[in-house]
């Protein structure tokens, strides 16, 4: 199925070319046709919920939507990707789910997540090649958007769980500034890191979706870059990038420069390299507390990887956690200082394309830092390997400058769409 561009769908609904009923019927047909092989959804909404959504008013009426199964839903089970919560029915919707319903979105179902949004892969496959991972932990949401089942979906990121699956599946992923979107009713893993995010086909789509959900002035067009200053961020972990990802970054940089942006190389400050390592300590310590009941009473029901992570967190002393938090605070100050000389950063969304494996969700190392610092990040789709697998690059801006991140990312996406070199970035 062709992916559903939100901007085009809403224009068609507004003009009467497509009815909300026809839009939802087409999305349900796409799920029926493809999801047995893809595994993006773990359960579908009851007919009563679909009927109520189509009877509602709001700017998102007729928009098919997916919700990652760590967000509570009152009309469907919420199992957090764990058999420990089989059949669990929350009493109320999560705040974001309630916001989507209020704006008229039709929530078609719950999308697959890894176990408690950690690293154990869900059953979802990559729509571009079923032998490849779609990423994690928001695997189902990214895959459902890429496969044309929904126009938008909720995800979350504690390390790299919005940006990485968006990159692997070739869609736009938006991790807002920390706490711009509410996490009330979302299963907590690490409270100082957990960030709710969104997926849509393109950057303008995800920007419009966020604007309509929140009422914020975030909708963007691909505006001219003028003399914007773009920092090419050179991190301490860049040595692990694949050759294709290096070429993808170079391609994006050349296109930005050709459009008038001023590019500057930025070496990673020591405080930010240290902050990246601190993210792991913070995540494990807080995870062991947030999942303390599950860890203590159902240790045998957890996957080995999650059990080991919670063991490590439980063994971390408060002093070590506090030291990591201090490194995080220094890192946030250093991240803010980066934007004294540039307007945005261009960074890799992942080490490369999605691994050809269903036993891994990929490495979040390229995302950990920006989750810790809380900066807004947008995965820009449009680059591919020579074999046709998506590659993603990320635009990062100063904390709170989400509209700038989305606008610059939209312009870069437009440049990529019009560039033949973006479609085969592998070494020649």
Q: pLDDT digit string (tens) for 28-69?
A: 999 999 999 999 999 999 999 999 999 999 999 999 999 999
Confidence of residue 152 (pLDDT cuts 50, 70, 90): very high
**Residue 71: what are its φ and ψ, rounded to 5°?**
-95, 130
Identify the H or E element spanning 48: helix 47-55
End-to-end CA distance of the chain: 31
How far is residue 106's CA from residue 385's CA, in Å, rounded to a whole number? 34
Judge whether residue 422 has pLDDT over 80.
no
pLDDT of the residue at 421: 64
Confidence of residue 221 (pLDDT cuts 50, 70, 90): confident
CA–CA distance from 202 to each of 134, 140, 231, 336, 412 (Å)? 17, 17, 23, 27, 11
Judge whether residue 315 has pLDDT over 80.
yes
Catalytic residue among 82, 137, 141, 349: 137
Rounded mean pLDDT of 403-424?
87
Tokens 């979107």 correspond to: 181
pLDDT of the residue at 222: 59
Q: Please give the CATH topology (third level) of the domain spanning 6-214.
A: Amidase signature (AS) enzymes (3.90.1300)
How far is residue 203's CA from residue 242's CA, in Å, rounded to a whole number? 25
Comparison of pLDDT for 54 and 225, the residue scoring more: 54
pLDDT of the residue at 214: 98
Confidence of residue 2 (pLDDT cuts 50, 70, 90): very high
Reported as a single tens digit per residue, the pLDDT across 80-131 is: 999 999 999 999 999 999 999 999 999 999 999 999 999 999 999 999 999 9
Clarify whether 137 is annotated catalytic: yes
Longest dimension (CA), the chain: 61
pLDDT of the residue at 189: 98
Confidence of residue 419 (pLDDT cuts 50, 70, 90): confident
**CB 166 within 8 Å of CB 349:** yes
Q: Please report, rounded to a whole number, the percentage of residues in the chain having pLDDT higher than 90.
A: 95
Judge whether residue 424 has pLDDT over 60.
no
Catalytic residue among 161, 177, 235, 349: 161
Residue 427's contacts (CB-CB under 8 Å, 6 or more residues apart) are 243, 244, 247
Reported as a single tens digit per residue, the pLDDT across 237-277 is: 999 999 999 999 999 999 999 999 999 999 999 999 999 99
Catalytic residue among 34, 49, 68, 141: 68
In this structure, the chain runs to a length of: 428
> Strand pairing of 152-157 and 377-384?
unpaired
pLDDT of the residue at 223: 64
Rounded mean pLDDT of 389-399?
98
How far is residue 3's CA from residue 64's CA, in Å, rounded to a whole number? 12
- CB neighbourhood size of 342 (10 A): 22
3-state secondary structure 257-302: HHCCCEEEEEECCHHHHHHHHHHHHHHHHHHHHHCHHHHHHCHHHC
pLDDT of the residue at 226: 78
Clarify whether 139 is annotated catalytic: no
Q: Is 58 left (phi over 0), alpha (psi -120 to 50) or beta?
A: left
Residues of 124-133 as b/e, b for ≥16 C-beta within 10 angstroms? bbbbbeeebb
Reported as a single tens digit per residue, the pLDDT across 319-356 is: 999 999 999 999 999 999 999 999 999 999 999 999 99
Kindly tell me the burial class for residue 341, based on how many C-beta atoms sit within 10 Å of its own C-beta (0-12, 13-18, 19 or more): exposed
Judge whether residue 420 has pLDDT over 90.
no
Clarify whether 161 is annotated catalytic: yes
Rounded mean pLDDT of 159-165?
98
**CB 109 within 8 Å of CB 43:** yes
How far is residue 260's CA from residue 43's CA, in Å, rounded to a whole number? 47
- CB neighbourhood size of 319 (10 A): 8
pLDDT of the residue at 183: 98
Task: Please state, rounded to an integer, the average pLDDT across all residues of the chain.
Answer: 96
Judge whether residue 13 has pLDDT over 90.
yes
The two tokens of residue 61 are: 């009426």
Rounded mean pLDDT of 385-413?
97
The two tokens of residue 240 are: 């692990």
């Amino acid at each position: 199925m062709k992916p559903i561009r939100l901007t085009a769908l809403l224009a068609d609904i507004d003009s009467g070319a497509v009815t909300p009923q026809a839009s939802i019927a087409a999305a349900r047909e796409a799920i029926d046709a493809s999801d047995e092989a893809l595994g993006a959804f773990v359960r579908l909404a009851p007919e009563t919920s679909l009927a109520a959504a189509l009877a509602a008013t709001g700017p998102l009426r007729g928009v098919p939507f997916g919700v990652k199964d760590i967000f509570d839903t009152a009309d469907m089970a919420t199992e957090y990707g764990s058999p420990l919560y089989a059949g669990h029915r929350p009493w109320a919707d999560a705040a974001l789910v309630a916001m989507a319903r209020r704006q008229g979105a039709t929530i078609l179902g719950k999308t697959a997540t890894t176990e408690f949004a950690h690293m154990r892969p869900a059953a979802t496959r990559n729509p571009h090649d079923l032998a490849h991972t779609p990423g994690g932990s928001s695997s189902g949401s990214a895959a459902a958007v890429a496969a044309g089942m929904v126009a938008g979906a909720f995800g979350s990121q504690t390390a790299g769980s919005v940006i990485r699956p968006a990159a692997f599946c070739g869609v736009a992923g938006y991790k807002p500034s920390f706490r711009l979107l509410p996490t009330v009713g979302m299963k907590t893993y690490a409270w100082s890191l957990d960030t709710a995010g969104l997926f849509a086909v393109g950057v303008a789509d995800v920007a419009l979706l966020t604007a309509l959900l929140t009422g914020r002035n975030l909708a963007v067009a691909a505006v001219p870059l003028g003399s914007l200053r773009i920092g090419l961020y050179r991190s301490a972990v860049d040595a692990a990038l694949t050759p294709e990802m290096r070429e993808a970054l170079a391609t994006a940089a050349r296109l930005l420069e050709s459009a008038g942006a001023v590019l500057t190389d930025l070496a990673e400050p020591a405080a930010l390299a240290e902050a990246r390592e601190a993210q792991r300590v913070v995540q494990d310590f807080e995870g062991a507390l947030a999942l303390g009941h599950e860890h203590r009473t159902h240790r045998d029901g957890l996957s080995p990887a999650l059990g080991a992570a919670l063991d490590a967190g439980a063994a971390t002393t408060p002093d070590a956690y506090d030291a990591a938090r201090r490194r995080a605070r220094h890192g946030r100050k250093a991240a803010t200082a980066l934007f004294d000389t540039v307007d945005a950063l261009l960074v890799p969304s992942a080490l490369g394309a999605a691994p050809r494996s269903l036993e891994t969700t990929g490495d979040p190392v390229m995302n950990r830092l920006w989750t810790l610092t809380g900066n807004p990040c947008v995965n820009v789709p449009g680059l591919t390997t020579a074999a046709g697998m998506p590659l993603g690059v990320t635009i990062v801006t100063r904390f709170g400058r989400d509209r700038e991140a989305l606008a610059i990312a939209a312009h870069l996406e437009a440049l990529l769409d019009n560039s033949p070199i973006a479609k085969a970035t592998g070494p020649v």
